[in-house]
């Protein structure tokens, strides 16, 4: 029987004292070669000497992203039932943003926006699947579109600035042995799921370690002995230890709490009078919070706290599978897969001690396309000329940025017919089809997007329609018009 020791899940000595943070405790399971696992990861995580004193002073960047977490699923945003003390503490020590947006309403395009700084009218990956191109995915599905060599990612920008880059969790932007794998897009070390469908289960028999499959022998033959989320946290801890003496970018796109809803231990939620999967959803979210606490604790122990910028968010709006219990999206209209606020508004917390205001709440609107130029500004690097985002570093440092308020934010998707959404100032516009009627909502007065006021504000509609004429370029993989 397998036992994962939750009180010390990532620091357990086995095999004569050999310690490795990516190995849980196995008992009565002689078929697992723990020594080989430890040796593999010892090779996987490495250090590189800092190139100069100037580079060494640049802040580390830690970007932690939940998967399908609703904006109101954590205590800092008002969730009363799911315990998230570490995320809540992060909010008390940093700034909590109430109008931050994902790059898209579903997984792959949102991540593409995040790493390329290009919104869904320009970025390479504009949906989870393409009907007109792409490659066969690891799970046998058609239409997975990988990033290409010419696509510039935040990891490539930071590598040029002297950073070492690591990623663990879910990627979703390139199948194995394509141009889109993380190691070919600027990341030095990678451990996790390339394919979104594979990432639905937390007990897969293998994941990826850099460009090769890594067998999880504890999950072979239908066993459920290695919970992949725990291994991702172990990799993150190891990466921080190995690279603490030089600037690093660590991207941790966790798979929690995305379906399947499964967790080794439901903890305090076991006896709650909720549906079983709701109890598992809560336990998964609290487990993630525990592990975020471990990562932040290590940052402190290694003396990196003051020189590490921490971001925490979700990859899209919540699907709200247990909305009657948790009210994951609150009053917001819509959910994952839709361009209403419930599908794209996400929690966003940023902490940088003594620079980002502690305990502050900001309603400045910004989105995933802004992360690449912001990371570049933090690193003293130059972002690509064509980025759609704007560095929000001045906002993080307490300065006012008119350009953030007055610019257009843009989203599109083709999963339910071609749809576009725009935010401009306090206005939100949505339309279906390139010639469709524009719906207009005043978020300052109508945050639930209940009242279409397009007829009363013809001037605003005209201004947004004018912007839409140049907002996008056509994509072969996700064309705006149906292709027979």
The backbone torsions φ and ψ at residue 298, rounded to the nearest 5 degrees and listed phi first, read: -65, -40
> Would you say residue 359 has pLDDT above 60?
yes
Residue 357 pLDDT: 98
pLDDT of 92:
98
Q: What pLDDT is attached to residue 7?
A: 29
State the pLDDT at residue 331: 95
- The pLDDT confidence band at residue 16, using thresholds 50, 70 and 90, is very low
Q: Which residue ranges form the domains of the chain, and what is each CATH number?
A: 53-408 (3.40.720.10), 411-468 (3.30.1120.10)
What is the percent of the chain with per-residue pLDDT over 90, rounded to a whole number? 83
Beta strands 164-170; 189-193: pairing state? parallel
Mean pLDDT of 368-387: 97
Name the one residue in this structure whose structure tokens are 């704007």: 390
The tokens for 450 are 């209940």
Closest CA to 247 of 77, 52, 420: 52
Q: Where are the alpha helices (DSSP H) in 20-153?
A: 34-44, 53-56, 85-93, 107-116
Reply yes or no on whether the pLDDT at 9 is more than 50: no
Mean pLDDT (the chain) is: 89
What gap in Å lies between CA 417 and CA 433, rounded to an integer?
7
Q: pLDDT tier at 35 (50, 70, 90 boundaries)?
A: very low
Residue-wise pLDDT tens digits, 166-203: 999 999 999 999 999 999 999 999 999 999 889 999 99
- The residue among 218, 230, 191 whose CA lies nearest residue 207 is 191
**Angle at 47 (CA atoms; ends 42, 49), nearest 5 degrees:** 160
Which tens digit of pLDDT belongs to each residue from 145-159? 999 999 999 999 999
Return the percentage of the chain with pLDDT > 70, whole number. 88
The answer, yes or no, to whether the previous bond of 99 is cis (omega within 30 of 0) is no
Residue corresponding to tokens 């690509």: 384
Does the pLDDT value for residue 241 go beyond 80?
yes
Cα(8)–Cα(216) distance, integer angstroms: 20
At residue 484, the pLDDT reads: 53
Q: How many Å apart are CA 384 and CA 407, to the nearest integer?
A: 19
Higher pLDDT, 245 or 484: 245
Using the predicted structure, report yes or no on whether residue 45 has a pLDDT greater than 80: no
Strands 248-253 and 60-66: parallel
Q: Distance between CA 266 and CA 82 in Å, rounded?
A: 12
**What is the arithmetic mean of pLDDT over 424-430?**
98
Residue 55, pLDDT > 90, answer no
Question: Three-state SS for 196?
Answer: coil
Per-residue confidence band for 54, with pLDDT thresholds at 50, 70 and 90: low
Measured CA to CA, the distance from residue 203 to residue 392 in angstroms comes to 38
Nearest to 392 by CA among 384, 401, 383: 401
Q: Is 229 helix (H, G, I), strand (E, B) or coil?
A: helix
pLDDT tens-place string over residues 256-312 = 999 899 999 999 999 999 999 999 999 999 999 999 999 999 999 999 999 999 999
Taking the CA atoms of 240, 85, 99 and 130 in sequence, report the sign of the dihedral they define: positive
Q: Coil, helix or strand for 220? A: helix
Query: What does the pLDDT look like over 195-228, one tens digit per residue?
Result: 988 999 999 999 999 999 999 999 999 999 999 9
d(CA 214, CA 37): 9
3-state secondary structure 69-85: CCCCCCHHHCCCCCCCH
DSSP labels, 231-250: HHHHHHHHHHHHTTTS-EEE
- Asked whether the predicted pLDDT for residue 85 surpasses 70, the reply is yes
Per-residue pLDDT at 47 exceeds 60: no
Q: How confident is the model at residue 25 (pLDDT cuts 50, 70, 90)?
A: very low
What pLDDT, on the 0 to 100 scale, is given for residue 441?
98
| Mean pLDDT for the stretch of residues 10-32 | 31
Closest alpha carbon to 332 in 350, 344, 316: 344
| CA dist., res. 228 & res. 215, Å (int) | 11
What is the rounded CA–CA span in Å between residue 70 and residue 341?
11
Q: How far apart are the first and last CA of the chain?
A: 53
Q: Strand 345-351 relative to strand 95-101: parallel, antiparallel, unpaired?
A: antiparallel
More confident residue, 95 or 416: 95
Q: Is the pLDDT of residue 12 over 60?
A: no
**For position 259, what pLDDT does the model report?**
87
């Amino acid at each position: 029987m397998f036992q994962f020791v939750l009180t010390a899940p990532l620091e357990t000595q086995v095999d004569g004292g050999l310690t490795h943070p990516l190995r849980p405790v196995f008992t009565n399971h002689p078929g697992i070669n723990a020594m080989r696992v430890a040796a593999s990861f010892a090779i996987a995580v490495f250090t590189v000497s800092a190139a100069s004193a100037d580079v060494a002073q640049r802040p580390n960047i830690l970007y932690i992203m939940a998967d399908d977490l609703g904006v109101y699923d954590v205590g800092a945003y008002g969730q009363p039932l799911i315990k998230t003390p570490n995320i809540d503490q992060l909010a008390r020590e940093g700034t909590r943003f109430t109008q931050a947006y994902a790059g898209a309403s579903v997984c792959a395009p949102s991540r593409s926006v995040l790493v390329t700084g290009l919104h869904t009218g320009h970025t390479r990956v504009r949906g989870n699947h393409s009907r007109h191109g792409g490659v066969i995915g690891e799970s046998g599905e058609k239409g997975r579109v990988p990033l290409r060599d010419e696509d510039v990612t935040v990891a490539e920008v930071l590598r040029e600035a002297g950073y070492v880059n690591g990623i663990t969790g879910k990627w979703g932007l390139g199948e194995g042995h394509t141009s889109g794998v993380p190691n070919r897009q600027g990341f030095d070390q990678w451990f996790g799921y390339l394919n979104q469908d594979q990432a639905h289960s937390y007990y897969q028999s293998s994941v990826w370690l850099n460009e090769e499959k890594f067998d999880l022998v504890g999950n072979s033959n239908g066993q459920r002995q290695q919970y992949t989320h725990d291994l991702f946290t172990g990799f993150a801890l190891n990466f921080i230890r190995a690279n603490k003496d030089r600037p690093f970018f660590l991207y941790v796109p966790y798979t929690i709490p995305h379906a399947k809803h499964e967790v080794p231990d439901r903890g305090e939620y076991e006896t709650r009078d909720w549906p079983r999967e709701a109890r598992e959803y809560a336990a998964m979210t609290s487990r993630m919070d525990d592990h975020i606490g471990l990562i932040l604790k290590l940052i402190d122990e290694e003396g990196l706290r003051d020189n590490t910028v921490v971001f925490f968010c979700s990859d899209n709006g919540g699907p709200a599978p247990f909305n009657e219990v948790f009210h994951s999206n609150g009053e917001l209209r819509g959910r994952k897969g839709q361009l209403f606020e419930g599908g794209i508004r996400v929690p966003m917390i940023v902490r940088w001690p003594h620079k980002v205001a502690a305990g502050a709440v900001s309603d400045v609107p910004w989105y995933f396309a802004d992360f690449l130029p912001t990371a570049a500004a933090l690193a003293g690097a130059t972002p690509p000329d064509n980025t759609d985002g704007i560095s929000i570093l001045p906002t993080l440092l307490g300065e006012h940025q008119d350009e953030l308020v007055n610019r257009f934010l843009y989203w599109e998707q083709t999963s339910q017919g071609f749809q576009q959404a725009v935010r401009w100032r306090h206005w939100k516009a949505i339309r279906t089809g390139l010639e469709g009627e524009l719906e207009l909502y005043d978020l300052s007065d109508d945050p639930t997007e209940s009242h279409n006021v397009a007829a009363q504000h013809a001037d605003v509609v005209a201004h947004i329609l004018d912007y839409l004429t140049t907002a996008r370029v056509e994509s072969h993989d996700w064309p705006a018009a149906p292709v027979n």
